[in-house]
């Protein structure tokens, strides 16, 4: 019996019962004390996350996403007192990366946004965000034709990143049923976060501490960094019968030349999180486009990998990208990817994946199935039976294939 084609896969086959009390609402006091489920060759073991080094292949290279979550939730009020939430997604600017917009833009900016209580915001109306002293921090406006494109203005002279730090709230996922608190400013951020731009955390990395990273290094493991700015689309539910028809969100990523070389020479590549894996796989397809002189190698659409005939090894793909950067005098590969990893897709870049436990009927669960097959059901059943905590602030797993 052959596997079903990606187009015929039904999202209902990726459902499971997740009780509300299994959704972690707060992190553990100590990041690396979470549960760790280890899967390899059909065998499941259980440990604490700080013991992960005992289960990694020797001389592994762990790939971390250095994106940093920005306080992207802004709460404005109309003159009537009605509350309007503006959730920043990505900038609509003529040029520059997200990091550059956040660091350099001063006075005004325009972003694609999600808008809460949108119907009460009248066309042409300017609304304000005011601090506890009554000082206006931001004003916001929008056009009738583009109601989700929001123009922000401020007069403090500070760069946008500084104003957001003062006025914004951390964008906790919708399944965390509480308002963001002061502690979330650090707990919903990896210890190695460096590059501003994400509106959701790469949560697999939340379990690492500085001490654990040092311990892994002392035991012969290495790390490589990349950046993919996680978008709110990661929480978008699949509301169509066939997930092939689900529109994936594009996310900006960057990998510098030295990191590409480190990946090329790695003995075992272990992706920390689905965001790292999506980046690693996108690199492969960008190299494929370069090899075949296809347009826009910086952009990978969600279905492109299923329409191409892959013949490159992953190492050859990295060689192509490294050579391209060197020939063009570039220090890093910058791209945007809407890649959709689901059953029927062959993962080429890794030997293991560190990841949390994901929502039923989600694109992230489809990705897990693409990596380990139908055993995801047994893994999730066992995690539920053993009272694992699920989703962003929940427990972790190490899924190995090598």
Which ranges of 204-330 would DSSP assign to H, the alpha helix? 210-218, 257-265, 274-291, 304-307, 314-327
pLDDT average, residue stretch 59-73: 97
Given a cut of 50, is residue 171 above it in pLDDT? yes
Domain termination residue (choose one: 167, 200, 224):
167
On whether both 246 and 366 belong to a single domain, the answer is yes
Q: Considering the domain boundaries, does residue 358 fall inside one?
A: yes
pLDDT average, residue stretch 269-293: 98
Measure the N-to-C terminal CA separation of the chain; round to a whole number of Å.
25
Contact 77, 126 (CB under 8 A): no
Q: Considering the domain boundaries, does residue 177 fall inside one?
A: no
* Pairwise CA distance, residues 363 & 361, whole Å: 7
On whether both 45 and 107 belong to a single domain, the answer is no
Domain termination residue (choose one: 167, 193, 211):
167
Confidence of residue 5 (pLDDT cuts 50, 70, 90): confident
On whether both 364 and 241 belong to a single domain, the answer is yes
332-337 and 60-65 beta bridge pairing? unpaired
Residue 145: per-residue pLDDT:
83
Average pLDDT, the chain: 95
Q: Which two tokens stand for residue 1?
A: 């019996």
On whether both 293 and 393 belong to a single domain, the answer is yes
Closest CA to 269 of 305, 230, 221: 221
pLDDT average, residue stretch 90-108: 87
Contact 312, 292 (CB under 8 A): no
On whether both 81 and 49 belong to a single domain, the answer is no
pLDDT average, residue stretch 216-230: 98
195-198 and 127-130 beta bridge pairing? unpaired
Confidence of residue 235 (pLDDT cuts 50, 70, 90): confident
Q: Considering the domain boundaries, does residue 173 fall inside one?
A: no
Residue 3: per-residue pLDDT:
60
Q: Considering the domain boundaries, does residue 135 fall inside one?
A: yes
Domain termination residue (choose one: 98, 132, 167):
167
On whether both 204 and 148 belong to a single domain, the answer is no
Confidence of residue 53 (pLDDT cuts 50, 70, 90): very high
On whether both 254 and 374 belong to a single domain, the answer is yes
Contact 358, 391 (CB under 8 A): yes
* Pairwise CA distance, residues 139 & 175, whole Å: 29
Given a cut of 60, is residue 172 above it in pLDDT? yes
Question: Which domain CATH number covers 276?
Answer: 3.40.1780.10
Range of the domain at 90: 72-167
Q: Considering the domain boundaries, does residue 245 fall inside one?
A: yes
Residue 96: per-residue pLDDT:
76
Quick one: DSSP state of residue 387? T
Q: Which two tokens stand for residue 151?
A: 């123009």
Closest CA to 276 of 223, 214, 225: 225
Tens digits of residue pLDDT in 182-215? 999 999 999 999 999 999 999 999 999 999 999 9
Calculated CA dihedral for residues 181, 185, 190, 191, nearest 10 degrees: -120
pLDDT average, residue stretch 100-113: 93
Given a cut of 60, is residue 2 above it in pLDDT? no
On whether both 78 and 64 belong to a single domain, the answer is no
pLDDT average, residue stretch 158-169: 95
**Helix H or strand E segment including 138:** strand 136-142
Residue 366: per-residue pLDDT:
97
Given a cut of 90, is residue 234 above it in pLDDT? no
Q: Considering the domain boundaries, does residue 180 fall inside one?
A: no
Question: Which domain CATH number covers 161?
Answer: 2.40.10
Q: Which two tokens stand for residue 336?
A: 């945007």
Q: Considering the domain boundaries, does residue 175 fall inside one?
A: no
Confidence of residue 1 (pLDDT cuts 50, 70, 90): very low
On the CB side of 332, CA atoms within 13 Å amount to: 12
On whether both 19 and 90 belong to a single domain, the answer is no
Cβ atoms < 10 Å from Cβ of 26: 13
* Pairwise CA distance, residues 332 & 339, whole Å: 20
**Helix H or strand E segment including 383:** helix 375-385
- Provide the whole-model pTM: 0.95
* Pairwise CA distance, residues 25 & 28, whole Å: 10
On whether both 200 and 287 belong to a single domain, the answer is yes
pLDDT average, residue stretch 105-113: 93
Given a cut of 90, is residue 95 above it in pLDDT? no
Bigger pLDDT: 5 or 87? 87
Contact 251, 316 (CB under 8 A): no
Tens digits of residue pLDDT in 21-38? 999 999 999 999 999 999
Q: Considering the domain boundaries, does residue 344 fall inside one?
A: yes
On whether both 145 and 267 belong to a single domain, the answer is no
pLDDT average, residue stretch 7-13: 95
Tens digits of residue pLDDT in 119-144? 999 888 999 999 888 899 999 999 88
Q: How many domains does the chain have?
A: 2
Using DSSP, state whether 63 is helix, strand or coil: strand
On whether both 206 and 229 belong to a single domain, the answer is yes
* Pairwise CA distance, residues 56 & 35, whole Å: 16
Given a cut of 90, is residue 94 above it in pLDDT? no
* Pairwise CA distance, residues 87 & 257, whole Å: 33
């Amino acid at each position: 019996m052959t596997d079903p084609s990606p187009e015929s896969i039904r999202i209902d086959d990726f459902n499971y019962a997740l009780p509300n009390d299994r959704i972690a609402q707060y992190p553990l006091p100590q990041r690396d004390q979470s549960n760790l489920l280890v899967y390899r060759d059909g065998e499941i073991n259980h440990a604490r996350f700080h013991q992960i080094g005992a289960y990694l292949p020797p001389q592994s290279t762990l790939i971390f996403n250095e994106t940093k979550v920005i306080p992207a939730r802004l709460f404005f009020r109309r003159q009537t007192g009605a509350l309007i939430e503006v959730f920043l997604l990505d900038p609509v600017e003529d040029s520059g990366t997200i990091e550059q917009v956040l660091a350099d833009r001063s006075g005004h900016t325009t972003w694609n946004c999600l808008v809460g209580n949108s119907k009460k915001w009248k066309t042409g109306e300017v609304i304000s965000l005011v601090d506890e002293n009554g000082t206006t921090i931001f004003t916001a406006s929008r056009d009738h034709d583009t109601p989700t494109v929001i123009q922000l203005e401020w007069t403090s002279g500070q760069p946008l990143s500084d104003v957001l730090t003062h006025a914004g709230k951390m964008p906790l996922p919708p399944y965390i049923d509480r308002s963001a608190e002061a502690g979330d400013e650090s707990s919903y951020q990896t210890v190695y976060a460096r590059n501003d731009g994400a509106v959701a955390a790469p949560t697999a990395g939340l379990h690492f501490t500085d001490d654990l990273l040092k311990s892994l290094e002392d035991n012969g493991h290495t790390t490589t960094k990349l950046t993919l700015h996680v978008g709110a689309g990661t929480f978008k539910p699949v509301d169509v019968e066939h997930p092939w028809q689900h529109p994936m969100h594009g996310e900006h990523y960057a990998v510098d030349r030295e990191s590409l070389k480190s990946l090329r020479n790695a003995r075992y590549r272990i992706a920390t999180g689905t965001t790292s894996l999506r980046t690693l796989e996108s690199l492969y397809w960008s190299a494929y486009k370069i090899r075949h002189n296809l347009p826009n190698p910086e952009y990978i659409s969600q279905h492109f990998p299923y329409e191409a005939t892959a013949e490159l090894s992953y190492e050859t793909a990295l060689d192509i990208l490294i050579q391209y950067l060197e020939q063009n005098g570039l220090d890093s590969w910058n791209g945007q990817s809407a890649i959709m990893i689901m059953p029927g897709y062959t993962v080429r870049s890794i030997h293991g994946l560190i990841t949390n436990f994901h929502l039923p009927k989600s694109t992230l669960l489809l990705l897990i199935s693409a990596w380990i097959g139908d055993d995801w059901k047994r893994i999730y059943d066992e995690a539920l039976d053993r009272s694992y905590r699920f989703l962003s602030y929940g427990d972790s797993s190490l899924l190995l294939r090598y």
